[in-house]
Amino acid sequence: MSKTLAENTSDARSRLLDAAMTVIRQKGFSATTVDDICQAAGLTKGSFFHYFKSKQDLGVAAAQHFADMADGLFGSADYRKLADPVDRLLGYVDLRVAILQGPISSFTCLLGTMTQEVYKSHPAILAACDRHMAEHIGELVKDITEARDLYCPDALWTPDSLGLHIQAVLQGSFIFAKARGGPEVAVEILGHLRRYLKMLFKR
């Protein structure tokens, strides 16, 4: 019943996944050792391999875990209730800007980070990252499609391509946040994304 604070106290598997999310976003997948994760979770290796049959297996599960967390965050956000689909898209971007706080590893995308690293070496992880990113984009594409039908049905671009573009800008902004050691540069970059969206959907 008694629980320490930093090391969260839910079941061991969740603790390992939370730890993995944090550590992998800091050091990358290859550079994080199983021991790193165990230490961060306050558990031992035996426990780790009780829940995950390999490090790659953990990678896949961590991608899932991250996607679930993101789903919760964006699925329940206030901007989702706005009537105009363009407002929802801008609300999404604004929320992403608002999130840019605290340590870098707290707002960057585990899926993008792992994709970069494992695309040749761990196909299972790559596939998981691709699938979860596609699902996340899928939600955006719903709003994009609606907005396009409403404000520019004759536009030359497809909703899917714009969803990808939005996500690409985000991923790119994370890289520069890492390079510069802070989120300020990402805010500037997302400013252009926001402007582009407003220009596309002239009301």
Residue with Cβ nearer a copy of itself (8 or 105): 105
Residue with Cβ nearer a copy of itself (13 or 165): 165
User: Does 199 sit near a copy of itself (CB under 8 A)?
Assistant: yes
Residue with Cβ nearer DNA (12 or 95): 12
Residue with Cβ nearer DNA (15 or 136): 15
CA distances to 79, 126, 129, 179 from 112, in Å: 24, 10, 7, 15
Q: How far apart are CA 83 and CA 36, in angstroms?
A: 46
| Contacting residues for 161 by C-beta, under 8 A, at least 6 apart | none
Q: How many CB atoms lie within 10 A of CB 123?
A: 11
Residue with Cβ nearer DNA (24 or 93): 24
Q: How far apart are CA 71 and CA 64, in angstroms?
A: 10
User: Does 179 sit near a copy of itself (CB under 8 A)?
Assistant: yes
Q: Are 52 and 46 in contact (CB under 8 A)?
A: no
Partner from a copy of itself, DNA, none contacting 129, C-beta within 5 to 8 A by type: a copy of itself
- Residue 146's nearest CA partner among 87, 186, 190 is 87
Partner from a copy of itself, DNA, none contacting 185, C-beta within 5 to 8 A by type: a copy of itself
Place of tokens 């993995």: 20
CB of 119 to a copy of itself, least distance (A): 4
- Residue 57's nearest CA partner among 66, 48, 44 is 48
Amino acid identity, position 30: S
Q: How far apart are CA 135 and CA 71, in angstroms?
A: 10
The one segment of 11-19, 53-61, 85-93, 174-182 that binds a copy of itself by CB under 8 A:
174-182
> Out of 45, 50, 142, 195, which residue is the one contacting a copy of itself (CB under 8 A)?
195
Q: Which residues bind DNA (CB under 7 A)?
A: 11-13, 32-35, 42-47, 49-51, 53-56
Report the interface residues with a copy of itself, using CB under 8 A. Answer: 26-28, 30-31, 104-105, 112-113, 115-121, 126, 129-130, 133, 157-158, 160-162, 164-165, 167-173, 175-176, 178-181, 185, 188-189, 191-193, 195-196, 199
